[in-house]
Amino acid sequence: MFDIAFSEMLIIAVVALVVLGPEKLPKVARTAGLLLGRLQRYVNDVKSDINREMQLDELKKLQTQVEDSARSIERSVTTEFQSAETALNQTAQGVTETVAQVSAEAEAVPAVAAAPTAEIPATVSAPEQLPNTKA
C-alpha cells in the first residue's frame, strides 16, 4: 500500500517508542494494526463494489445488444412470413380461378350420348404369342 522501507519503519518505531514510551507503545501498535486492517477491508470492499458495477454495466450493454438482435431477427422472420403468405394466397387464388375456368369449360362441352354396347364390334383379338428366343 505505502512504499515504506525497513529502515523507515525502524525510524518510525524508534520515534514512537521515544514519544509514547514503552508502556503505551504495544497498545497503540495493536490499535494501529486494527485500524489498518479495517482500512484495508474497506478499500477491498470499495474495489469489489466498483468491479461489480462495471460488470453490471457490461451485462446491461450485452443485454441491450441481444434484445436488439432478437428484435431484428423477429422483424426479418415476420417479413419473410408475410411474403410467403402473400405468395401462397396468390397461388391459391390462381388455382381457384383455374378450377372455375375448367368447370365452366366442362359445362360448355355438350354431353356425348352413350352408344349402346351391342353396336361395338368385337374385333379386338389377343396378341399373337412370339416365339421364345432365349438360348
Check if the beta carbon of residue 16 is closer than 8 Å to that of residue 25.
Answer: yes
- Answer whether residue 72 is part of any domain: yes
Which range of residues forms the domain containing residue 15? 7-99
- Answer whether residue 112 is part of any domain: no
As a whole-number percent, the residues of the chain with pLDDT over 70 amount to 79
- Answer whether residue 82 is part of any domain: yes
Q: How far apart are CA 70 and CA 103, in angstroms?
A: 49
Tell me the pLDDT tens digit for each residue of 28-69.
889 989 999 999 999 999 999 999 999 999 999 999 999 999
- Answer whether residue 76 is part of any domain: yes
- Answer whether residue 109 is part of any domain: no
Higher pLDDT, 83 or 110: 83
pTM tops 0.75, yes or no: no
* Residue-level pLDDT at 84: 95
Q: How far apart are CA 1 and CA 43, in angstroms?
A: 11
Phi-psi category of residue 26: left, alpha or beta, with phi > 0 → left and psi -120 to 50 → alpha: alpha
Scan for cell 387464388, then name that residue. Answer: 93
Instruction: Please report which confidence band the pLDDT of residue 70 belongs to, taking 50, 70 and 90 as the band edges.
Output: very high
Number of separate domains in the chain:
1
- Answer whether residue 95 is part of any domain: yes
